[in-house]
Structure 1
Amino acid sequence: MSEATIAVDVTVPPANVPRAVNLPPSSRLPNFVQAAAFLLSPRRTTEYMTRRHGDVFTHRVPVFGNVVTIADPQIAKQLFTANTDDVGNIQPNLSRILGSGSVFALDGAEHKRRRKLLTPPFHGKSIKNYEVIFEEETLREAASWPEGREFESLEPMMRITLNAILRAVFGADGEQLDELRRIIPPWVTLGSKLALLPAPSRTYGRVTPWGRLAAYRRRYDAVIDQLIDTVKADPNFETREDVLTMLLRSTHGDGSAMSRRDIADELLTLLAAGHETTAATLAWALERVSRHPAVLQQLVDEAQTDGNEYRQATLLETQRVRTVIDRAGRHVYSPTFELGEWVIPRGYSMLVDIGHLHGLAEEFEAPERFDPQRFMGKRPSTFAFIPFGGGTRRCVGAAFANVEMDIVLRTVLRHFTIESTTAPDEKVHSRGVAYTPKSGGRVVLRRMAQPLA
């Protein structure tokens, strides 16, 4: 063997050997200071870090530990399209609130199977069938709205979206659903706040927040058990098309059925994720259009027709300027993960800062301006606008939520006059997981003598 050959052999790296760790830049502040800053104001922390260290940086985050934050669309694309064997759902995640049977708890092939199971009821023809539900629930809630007097729209929107998802999931109404209406709202409010805090080893009874959360869960499980018994006893069980029946009829690869606990966890995920974020976006939409008379007038004109292009653009722009869920996370499972020029080690988490991406001037001209026209006939690059997250973990109910928001806003526009206001913009308020209008999306409405269209 020649000397040249020997030299080449020595310099070729062995197969399957991960590259050396090369982390993005990080702050020199003590870890506890970084964690406290993120806990107090995650958005301001990201703004500060991107100014100092660029669009990819490392820092300490409460609960998640070592985190790489991504504020660049191309790097976000690389993460969202990565092999799911290399990166999975962030740890810990919402499954510690929603339960181990939630889709949030699953990764890899099991996660893919669950998404495939949940997709049909929230797409295509199924969503078309829900449109009448969206309109009915809006009109039912609107019957009690004050006329000509400012009121908070967030809580009414929460009730509309909760009732709509309850009817879609269970296919009917009744006493058990009334109980869920009493349980779910306070549970979501409390769970959203606790989701970003370390979980104690024990709940210490109902005097603590975690104890109250456990008490809500016990009440919820009792209701779901009753509903499962009712549905399984239905003579039309094999032909029902609601989500609960679909889960009851489903089986794992080995032919075994989903456990009641797993079904309860998955339904809780749909109920929690399926109403708070949608309601928050609707409240923001009312807050935004009431401060932009030209936008409002164009919406009113369109509501007299069967069109919805401008209404859809307005909702997209609302999601951009008032991003409700502003981070999507992944966790490194492979020995190392190459992210652009960086090499991230196993055990690190990565957070895509959605809110930051939605405000990039290179992607959105005059990003501080509320301008639905930017979405008329065009869309930004795929990974610059991701209100529902991206990749294999993109929200399974995104299409359902988009249609629901469209129908609810259309119904309001057709039955009420929305008064314009010169009041200052409402500040952004963190409910824990979601960002909502701090004053509740206050609006003044007047009933039309003759509804439009």
Structure 2
Amino acid sequence: MPTVRLPDGPATPPIAQSLEILAGRTRTWRRMHARFGSAFTIHMPRFGRSVVLADPTEIKALFTASTDIVDNIDANLGEFLGPGSLFALEGEQHRKQRKLLTPPFHGRRLTAYEALVEEEAVHEMASWPSGTEFSTMDSMMRITLNVILRAVFGAEGDEFKELRELLPKLVLVASALSAVSVPKRLFGRLGPWARFTSYRRRYDEIVDQLIDYATADERIEDRDDVLAMMLQARYDDGSPMSRSDIADELLTLLTAGHETTATTLAWTIERLRRHPEVLRRLVAEADAGGSELRAATLLEVQRVRPVIDFTVRKVLAESMQLGRWTLPKDQNVVVSIRLLHDNEELFPNARTFDPDRFVGVRPGTFSWIPFGGGHRRCIGAAFATMEMNVVLRTLLRDFTLEPTDARDERTHFRGIALVPAEKGRAVVHRRSALHPIPIDDRTTEVTV
């Protein structure tokens, strides 16, 4: 057996290391990076002793390694999303499932979803107050949740309305439980696990009803929603997906497909209000029908304010040689997206918000990784990118966004996602009445 060689790390007790990370992960990792370099070993909540990587060469080696050597971790989101979720599957099962789920979120189908995104954005923005500061993140959450619900299930109905109420509650409880290990029997029927189980049970009942409706639809072949495509999809051996796997994968798409996108949009507003020259150029570009700077801006927002700031793998082989390190079986390896995006060699003046660094430049596959990397890269990355682009374009077209000299919004840790502490506060003025949308029962008042 090769001799194990791990990076250095702090000598404080494991519980102290975990508490320090919970109190401020970005601050802690930056301090560890300054002390130990581009790799260090630290004890993390839920993951235990973990090797943290920030070197792009070592990260590339990890992401491109065979799934026989390194793959999924034990403590993954499959605990909440279900055993049929991409987060829970490994090896060949993961590859087969991913192959079935890729078509709805790529190519020509993305173009078909653009009108849906703009419709939901215009509808929600009709409720925005003019000239009064408000928080945008909840509004963005409603846009992205409505978009993914319509993309997944197609037409609206009572089930759609109930899911709009149920999913945010489910996501909030699951995010908290995923951040800190909580005993499943804590507080019995009143505890967080009991609430999660109740929400998940109701979700499964609703999806089961929707599957019944879809399978009874004589025109299912003409539908372009994700549920219809899943029901018609077949594995290489001709077998269909099971109902439970469909429910798990739909929950994965619904939860992962709206909160992170909405949070990035809230961060985009937070950044643009503090960079008026970039904002001015974006408005001029949008008025002229362009998009290059807008695309670069979204890339830069995700670099400086990644909503998910790490991803984890586990060594499955007896040992793994990873650059300078020899890792033992069962070793958890954390890729720090935050530290990688801070790399001055990759991104000069890395702490500076500068969208021009991406104008006419494609980000590196293993240096810009807000969607993760390798065979576990987020399957909805292209969909999320399209959605953010359309929402930002709609905002710039229909509203004037007031700049501010207020200090940057702090980062708030919300279980999994890193969100703006004040939820991306904004002051807007309507530019024109191009798209008057009547208020209906889907519009919720914006809290000022």
Q: TM-score range by the shorter chain?
A: over 0.9
* Aligned equivalent of 2:191: 208
Asked whether the equivalents of residues 414 and 451 of structure 1 are also in contact (C-alpha less than 8 Å), the reply is no
Distance apart, 1:116 and its partner CA: 1.0
Listed one character per residue, the Cα deviations across residues 104-132 of structure 1 (whole Å, up to 9, x for unaligned) are 00111111111111111101100000000
Q: Secondary structure at the match of 1:103?
A: coil
Given the alignment of the two structures, is residue 373 of structure 1 paired with residue 373 of structure 2, yes or no?
Answer: no
- Out of 303, 308, 311, which is 1:325 matched to? 308
Deviations 1:110-165 (A, max 9, x none): 11111111111101100000000010000111111111100000000000001001
Is 124-133 or 367-376 further displaced after alignment?
367-376
* Greater Rg over alpha carbons, structure: 1
Deviation string 1:170-192 (CA, Å, 9 cap, x unpaired) is 12211111110000112112211
Match of 1:259 among 239, 242, 255: 242
Secondary structure of the 2:357 match is helix
**Equivalences for 1:297-312 in 2 at 5 Å?**
297-312=280-295
Aligned-residue offset at 1:380: 4.1
Q: Secondary structure at the match of 2:222?
A: coil
Aligned counterpart, 1:80: 63
- Mapped contact 2:411–2:420 kept (Cα < 8 A): yes
Distance in 2 (CA, whole Å) between partners of 1:38 and 1:243 is 38
In 2, the alpha carbon distance for the partners of 1:451 and 1:245 equals 34
Structure 2 counterpart of 1:440, one-letter code: K
Q: What is the CA distance between 1:255 and its match in structure 2?
A: 4.2
Which of 138, 143, 163 in structure 1 is aligned with 2:126? 143
TM-score after normalising by structure 1:
0.93
Partner SS state of residue 26, structure 1:
coil
Is 1:224 the counterpart of 2:224 in the alignment? no
Match of 1:38 in 2: 21
Q: How is 1:44-123 mapped onto 2 (pairs within 5 angstroms)?
A: 44-123=27-106
Residues 1:290 and 2:281 aligned together:
no
The structural deviation recorded for 1:239 is 3.3
Q: CA deviation at 1:206?
A: 3.9
Shift of 1:295: 0.5
Match of 2:225 in 1: 242
TM-score (norm 2): 0.94
Q: Which runs of 5+ in 2 are unaligned?
A: 436-448
2:11 is aligned with 1:28: yes
Whole-angstrom distance in 2 between the partners of 1:198 and 1:126: 39
Corresponding position of 2:390 = 407
Residues 205, 211 of structure 1: 8 Å contact kept = yes
Q: Write out aligned runs for 1:139-178 (5 A).
A: 139-178=122-161
Cα shift at 1:253: 5.0
Matching of residue 350 in structure 1 with residue 349 in structure 2: no
The correspondence for 1:445, drawn from 428, 433, 439, is 428
Q: Which runs of 5+ in 1 are unaligned?
A: 1-17
- Give the structure 2 partner of residue 433 of structure 1: 416
How far, CA to CA, are the matches of 1:208 and 1:27 in structure 2? 35
Maintained 8 Å contact 1:24/1:68: yes
How much is the aligned-residue C-alpha RMSD, in angstroms?
1.5
Q: Find the aligned partners of 1:320 and 1:31 in 2 and give their Cα distance.
A: 30
Work out whether residues 100 and 235 of structure 2, in 8 Å CA contact, stay in contact via their aligned partners in 1: no
Residue 383 (structure 1) shift:
1.4
Q: For 2:374, which of 367, 391, 396 is the aligned residue?
A: 391
Alpha-carbon separation, structure 2, partners of 1:177 and 1:358: 38
> 1:381 & 1:265 partners in 2: Cα distance?
32
